[in-house]
Amino acid sequence: QLWIDESARSGPENMAVDEWLLTHAESLVLRVYRWEENWGSLGYFGSIAEARETFPGLNWVRRWTGGGLVDHRDDWTYTLVVPIGDPLARLRGAESYRLIHGALGRVLKSDGVQLSAGHQATGASACFENPVEHDLVDAAGRKRAGAGQRRTKTGLLHQGSVGGWMEIEPSCERAGALAAALAPEVRDFKEQPSAEEIGRLEKRYREAGWTERR
């Protein structure tokens, strides 16, 4: 299923929507979404002090998934939710990461963007300065697409970003192509979360105890 979420949301609200999807989706769902101005996200184990030092002036939300620091002011952001019954959700982390980024790489190639799988980590905290295995890098070795994952008893949450050097405009076409590469059938996602449900879930992501935990 494909959800082109055209609402520009805050960081906590975007994280709440993804959490809701993970607990409600009955089949694979690809959500492509936008951010309100000046938001960045950090991985579950990331340092908020380092985030603020690296990208001063951003509002920060802590993701439920791993990975590094991401500046969302000019990126193409997507979430893939895979229910536990789908074979993709039962793969080891590195293998599911490889398959998803392989599909993304083929879609970007059809857009005229040639990327390949990265191998050499740099240790930098900023996500796009630290390519890890199966991230997508350009010919100069610069990371252009990365993601973080989380597995629960209900399935796999894969939160990904393609760096802002790309044009954001063809988002709908790119999203449709990526969904088609990951699922045998693509249809629009109809079941939308209510404002009350999202409001309840986003409280955690707004709390200082969550954001400031590390």
Which tokens hold the place of 140? 């100069």
| Residue 177 domain boundaries | 2-86+149-211
CATH number, domain containing residue 174: 3.30.930.10
- Calpha distance 101→79 (Å, rounded): 12
- Residue 214: band (very low, low, confident or very high) from pLDDT cuts 50, 70, 90: confident
Specify if 207 maps to a domain.
Answer: yes
Specify if 134 maps to a domain.
Answer: no
Report the C-alpha dihedral over residues 8, 13, 15, 20, rounded to 10 degrees.
-110
Specify if 105 maps to a domain.
Answer: no
Specify if 51 maps to a domain.
Answer: yes
Specify if 123 maps to a domain.
Answer: no
Specify if 52 maps to a domain.
Answer: yes
- Calpha distance 22→20 (Å, rounded): 5
Specify if 50 maps to a domain.
Answer: yes
Please count the residues of the chain: 214
- Calpha distance 191→182 (Å, rounded): 20
- Calpha distance 14→62 (Å, rounded): 11
pLDDT digits (tens, 9 = 90+) for 14-68: 999 999 999 999 999 999 999 998 999 999 999 999 999 999 999 999 999 999 9
The domain tally of the chain equals 1
pLDDT digits (tens, 9 = 90+) for 5-28: 999 999 999 999 999 999 999 999
Specify if 115 maps to a domain.
Answer: no
Enter the DSSP assignment of 55: S
pLDDT digits (tens, 9 = 90+) for 111-127: 777 888 865 554 555 54
